[in-house]
Amino acid sequence: MAKNKLKRFAEMETLPNVFQPGYVELYRHDYIYKGKWNAEVFHNNHPIVLEIGCGKGEYTVELGKLYPEKNFIGIDIKGARMWKGAKTALETGMDNVVFIRMYAEMLASAFAPGEISEIWITFPDPQMAKARKRLTGTRFLNLYKQIITPGAWIHLKTDSPFLYAYTTALIQANHLKADICTDNLYASGLNDTILNIKTFYEKQWLSRGKNIKYIRFTLNNTGLLEEPDIEIERDDYHSEARHMVHKDLNQ
């Protein structure tokens, strides 16, 4: 497994659809492509959609197939996982999909205001002990506001009851607009091709009888967001299920 990881890390350096800015390039600096992703990377003016915590890149790649008139960027810090999506996009000739290996905390250094038209967050760690690390928490939502267009949709798919309850409460506390909010996506009657894309993790959770939750919402343009003042029961998300499938992540 370690040997495969090293091989993939080495190959990532050579893939033209993968960008790996160093920490210094993003810390207190603007990345060279900030505000220039369309002009210098995609060579068009199509809307850019961002998947945060893209893992193996399944959603990024499948969205790119469905919408060739849009550009897609998957970001994650774990390169060995991202390698699969990058290779798939490259081998199938997709010129509207790229990947960035970076921390989500540095989004404002990589993208200009209004550069991102839509955000997907698919099966993130709910970070039940640390609100600052939740990708739908106020810290990150306030970051997203710096790079998205007004009214941009933010999508969350999760199997975690905790993260679903937390995000729903945050939306209500801050009077945000949510046009879809379901705790059982595949029993909701929503007929949307995008929502039927299933990641590696999602297939695992469905096979274990977990319900998939989905929220689509937008952010207000002004004012900092506030955390919801509620207690939320923790769930078993940590679980052995993730430990059991971890060995498959590099296959």
The reply to whether 248 sits in an annotated binding site is no
pLDDT at 126: 95
Residue by residue, pLDDT tens for the chain (251 residues) are 566 777 787 878 889 999 999 888 888 889 999 999 999 999 999 999 999 999 999 999 999 999 999 999 999 998 888 999 999 999 999 999 999 999 999 999 999 999 999 999 999 999 999 999 999 999 999 999 999 999 999 999 999 999 999 999 999 999 999 999 999 999 999 988 899 898 887 888 888 888 999 999 999 766 789 999 889 999 876 543 444 444 443 44
The reply to whether 218 sits in an annotated binding site is no
Q: Which of 30, 95, 125, 235 is catalytic?
A: 125
Contact indicator for 18, 9 with CB cutoff of 8 Å: no
pLDDT at 210: 87
The reply to whether 235 sits in an annotated binding site is no
The reply to whether 202 sits in an annotated binding site is yes
pLDDT at 7: 76
> What distance in Å separates the CA atoms of residue 242 and residue 192, rounded to the nearest whole number?
27
> What distance in Å separates the CA atoms of residue 92 and residue 240, rounded to the nearest whole number?
34
pTM recorded for the entire structure: 0.91
pLDDT at 244: 42
- Is 179 in the active site? no
For 3-40, b where at least 16 C-beta lie within 10 A, e where not — what string?
eebeebeeebeebebbbebeeebbeeeebebbbebbee
DSSP states along 50-111: EEES-TT-HHHHHHHHH-TTSEEEEEES-HHHHHHHHHHHHHTT-SSEEEEE--GGGHHHHS
> What distance in Å separates the CA atoms of residue 4 and residue 162, rounded to the nearest whole number?
34
The reply to whether 111 sits in an annotated binding site is no
The reply to whether 31 sits in an annotated binding site is no
Of 190, 185, 244, 174, nearest to 214 (Cα)? 185
pLDDT at 208: 87
The reply to whether 200 sits in an annotated binding site is yes
